[in-house]
Amino acid sequence: MATYLQTVEELGPGKAEILSDISYTNSTRIAFIISCEYDPSATSGLHLDVFYGPGVREYSTEPLISKDLTFSAGKRVMEVIFVECPKHGILLPVITNLDGSYPIKNIRIWWEYA
């Protein structure tokens, strides 16, 4: 069952937000479930980077995964992103609005062991 992580009501044009970190054990695959609403005039969507830390809140400089989410102007979309990771540690997700003119609204994020 998915665990609720965070809601971002609005992510401004070209802005990024560091989300709450996730401490996990005994898993090498984590699923992120993300939903959001795109402006009808938007031309780009949401991007997800997930960084890894061994447990001391120091994170890698290269993300474990870097992915553009499904984009559909004027629509609410939901996507599941799977992240392969070391067996124990902390994951730090960062979302970025790739559109330079329009915000992305009602971003909701959950995670679960996959």
Q: What is the CATH number of the domain that holds 24?
A: 2.60.120.680
**pLDDT band at residue 1 using 50, 70 and 90 as cut-offs:** confident
The domain total for the chain is 1
Q: For residue 11, report the phi and psi dihedrals to the nearest 5 degrees.
A: -115, 110
DSSP E strand boundaries for 1-114:
3-11, 16-18, 22-24, 29-38, 46-53, 65-68, 76-84, 89-97, 104-113
Q: Could you report the per-residue pLDDT of 34-53, keeping only the tens digit for each? A: 999 999 999 999 999 999 99
**pLDDT band at residue 29 using 50, 70 and 90 as cut-offs:** very high
Tell me the sheet residues that pair with 6: 109
Q: How far apart are CA 11 and CA 23, in angstroms?
A: 24
Q: Residue 56 pLDDT more than 90?
A: no
Determine the structural domain holding residue 53 and report its residue range: 3-113
